[in-house]
Structure 1
Amino acid sequence: MSRELQLFLCAVQFLTRLPTPRLKGFEPDWVSRGARYFPLVGLLVGGACALVFWAASQVWSGWLPAILAITTGVLITGAFHEDGLADTADGLGGGADPAKRLAIMKDSRIGTYGALALGLGLALKAAALATLPAGLGAWALIAAHGTGRGASVIVMRLLPYVGAPRASKWKAAPVGLSLGEMLIALVFAGLPLALSPDGVVVQGLLLASLLALGLALIARRLLGGYTGDVLGAVEQVFEIGFLLGVSAAFALAAAPRTGG
């Protein structure tokens, strides 16, 4: 098995609960090295969600296709990124200093801030997705999942790791993420954007980038850098922003125009 295939399968194992072949000679560094494939894994997850959304839209309208699609993503990933969003909200909202915030984020219990962030995040994604037709919604899911994981890779590259390795699900590589690895990830993340329908990609990326940037800056100020939970939160915030931006663009394009 080639090294690149091993790194891709490692990324699949890390980000999802999909069955994969057993990796021989696994090294902790593989998770960081496999980050170049995080957006590609996102495209696979988003593709499954898109298929469910499109198929359900042939039967139902409104919220049900959106909820089924989001549930599909949660089942495939084991709520991996949603857990990071909840932990990050609890830590950033409840700690008085970086050490306390990190301690709260390691606690497996969910607090008020985490519950609110999780509930509101899922509701916003479902509400935005429910406004979109089947084809556009399916594309938006693929693009949101791919670009959201691309955003987390950018954070890995630009911010220092501040988590405690022994208490984390993964240990950041000593060398960190290279520029080349980040660019490879961004190429994968950008694949669905080349097929953007109805010119909605700018609005989706703009709102998503602003939200993810804001969260990354807050994490740098309050924690000193990123943890695995912060990466999950960045991915979720980017997804939410992207779907909201696409939904807004669609609504504005569909609104009747009045002439003077």
Structure 2
Amino acid sequence: MTGNPVISWWMPPLLAVQFLTRLPVPGLNRLSAEQARYGLSRSVIWFPLVGALVGVITAAVLVATAHIWPRAVAVIIALAIEARLTGAFHEDAVADFCDAFGGGHDVESTQRIMKDSRIGSYGALGLVLAVGLRAALLIAMPQDWIMIALIASACFGRFLAVAVMAIVAPAKTQGGGLAKDVSGRTDVMDLIWANLIAAPVLGLFAYWHPAAALLTLSGAVLFLLWFRAILLRRLGGSTGDCLGFAVYGGQLLLLLALLAMVG
């Protein structure tokens, strides 16, 4: 029985950047397939920090463009840049998830629809509503909270995906993918590490607005209870699309909670 491949300590965070963004990441082309797979499974604890990086870039674009155009225009430009930065990774997951859970009626049909790359009415409507709600929240967010909202929500969304990996086993579907190759190795200890890594960002958010942080946490607990139940009942576990949906859901939860308190 062979052990895990040997990888350097710096590889998991770089693999997290490579997986979640389209940013060029040097130094990873020499990894073997086994090292890359194992390294990616160890990289999930860094997902919240990569999310914060994405949030910083999106916030910088929004603040810069808001000096030239109205807030609504700046938000659309910032979200477009973010979609290019991430490869619209999570938006695609939202569409696939909505199609599968809207059109499927049992485990087999839900899995079949989720694997279909075509977008249906549920997926199109779900994506428009999700992106539209996020844009509306950012447009309505007070100026003083824009950067905090974007960075903290991006971090929290990726943290929520790690939480889903830790509490829901991968679905028994054909093929590999993130949920099977990565989240199958994720446990509660990984969630604790992800929490510690996310603490500088989420801790500052909680310090600046404890009530909004508490409301976000309460909403996240309810979301995870509902999400775990529906994934096990309708899909038999999680998939990469489910994790992407959790990321977007986490972002919306924090933005909703913050705007409810400061709007």
TM-score normalised per structure 2: 0.87
CA contact (8 A) 2:12 2:39 kept: yes
Q: Please state whether the residue corresponding to 1:166 is helix, strand or coil.
A: coil
More displaced, 182-191 or 171-180?
A: 171-180
Measure, in 2, the Cα distance between the counterparts of 1:185 and 1:166: 27
Give the AA of the match of 2:145. Answer: L
1:29 and 1:171 in contact (8 A); partners too: no
What aligned pairs does 1:119-134 form with structure 2 within 5 A after superposition? 119-134=128-143
1:239 equivalenced with 2:251 (yes/no): yes
1:54 paired to 2:63: yes
Amino acid at match of 1:21: P
Give 1:159's aligned amino acid: V
Over the aligned positions, Cα root-mean-square deviation in angstroms equals 2.2
One-letter amino acid of the structure 2 residue matched with residue 7 of structure 1: P
- 1:20 aligned to 2:32? no
Deviation at residue 138 of structure 1 after TM alignment: 1.0
Deviates more, 1:209-218 or 1:219-228: 209-218
The answer to whether 1:74 aligns with 2:83 is yes
Structure 1 residue 156 corresponds to structure 2 residue 165? yes
Distance change (3 Å), C-alpha of 1:233 and 1:136: same
Contact persistence 1:157–1:178 (CA under 8 A): yes
Q: What is the aligned partner in structure 2 of residue 8 from structure 1?
A: 13
Matched-pair contact (CA < 8 Å) for 2:47–2:194: yes
Map 1:1-260 → 2, pairs under 5 A: 3-23=8-28, 24-26=30-32, 27=34, 28-164=37-173, 166=175, 168=177, 171-173=180-182, 176-196=185-205, 197-199=208-210, 200-251=212-263
Distance in 2 of aligned mates of 1:193 and 1:115: 32
* Structure-2 separation of matches of 1:30 and 1:146: 21
**Cα displacement (A) at 1:223:** 0.8
Q: Work out whether residues 148 and 235 of structure 1, in 8 Å CA contact, stay in contact via their aligned partners in 2.
A: yes
Three-state SS of the structure 2 residue aligned to 1:220 is: helix
Distance 1:82 1:146 in 2: 16
CA offsets per residue over residues 204-235 of structure 1, 9 Å max, x none? Answer: 34335434543333112211210011000011
Alpha-carbon displacement from aligned partner over 1:144-198 (angstroms, at most 9, x marks no partner): 1111111110111111101535253664259621332221111223322222234
Gaps of 5+ in 1: 252-260
Aligned equivalents of 2:183 and 2:260: distance in 1? 42
SS in 1 for 2:141: coil
Distance in 1, Cα, partners of 2:174 & 2:87: 21
Aligned to 1:255: none
Structure 2: distance between partners of 1:79 and 1:163: 26
Question: Which range moves more in the overlay, 85-94 or 58-67?
Answer: 58-67
Q: Residues 55 and 173 from structure 1, CA distance in 2 versus in 1: closer, same or farther, beyond 3 angstroms?
A: closer
- The total of aligned residue pairs comes to 251
Per-residue CA deviations over 1:83-112 (Å, capped at 9, x if unaligned) read 111111111111121122111111110011
The aligned amino acid for 2:126 is: A
Distance, in Å, in 2 between the alignment partners of 1:241 and 1:174 is 23
* 1:15-37 per-position Cα deviation (integer Å, ceiling 9, x unaligned): 11110114122422222211111
TM value normalised by structure 1: 0.88
**How big is the shift at 1:133?**
2.7
How many Å separate the matches in 2 of 1:131 and 1:95?
35
